[in-house]
Each structure stands twice: as structure tokens, then as C-alpha cells.
Amino acid sequence: MSNPLVQAFFVGRALAEVVNERLEVAFTDALSEIGKFDAEAREQLRQFTEEVIERANRAAAAAETGQTTTGTTSSSADGVDLQATIDELRAEIALLRNELQRYRSSSV
């Protein structure tokens, strides 16, 4: 390649291909993490819904038999587990936001 213009063309083309491939990998990884987070959030929501329905069914059954319920039948350990789950989800959201900001700043 004696012509610098031709060499610059091929270097630019190779640069564009490498950048495109790396962006594709980064974008795919980000979408994968978002999908994983979405699946975990949906599972947490499903479990929460099941627990609410189960408690409502127990309360309805207790009302039919004439028993009274206090409304708080869960132990404090359930509250801690739920709070820990919420904290973990918030931490994952913060990590994802940080990764997105870093990706956006590096692509500019």
C-alpha cells in the first residue's frame, strides 16, 4: 500500500468494523442483563402475588369459620427477607445505571 489515501481508507474501514463488533457485544450483554433483571423482577412479583392471594384465601376461610385474624401473621424474618430483596434489586438497578452511563460516556 504505497498510497496513503488507500491505506487510510482501509484503516478507517477496519476501525469501523472493530468498533461495530465491540458495540454489538456490549449492547447484547446489556440486553442480556436487562432481560435477566426483568425475569427476576417478574419472579419476585409472581411470588408476592401468590403470597397475597394465599393470605386473602386464609383470611376468607377464617372469616367463614368465624375466626378473627390479626392481619399480621408473618414473622419478622419475612420482612427482613423482603427488605433484603428490595435492597438487592435497588443495588442491581444502580449497578445497571452505572454501566449504562459508563457505556454512554465511552461511546461519545
> What is the per-residue pLDDT across 7-18, written as a single tens digit (0 to 9) for each?
999 999 999 999
Predicted local confidence at residue 49, as pLDDT: 93
Question: Is residue 87 predicted with pLDDT exceeding 90?
Answer: no
Q: Which range marks the domain in which residue 33 is found?
A: 4-107
Q: How many domains does the chain have?
A: 1
And the C-alpha cell for 77? 424474618
pLDDT in tens, 25-64: 999 999 999 999 999 999 999 999 999 999 999 988 888 8
Q: What is the pLDDT of residue 48?
A: 94
Backbone angles phi, psi at 48, to 5 degrees: -60, -45
pLDDT (0 to 100) of residue 24: 94
The Cα–Cα gap between 108 and 105 comes to 5
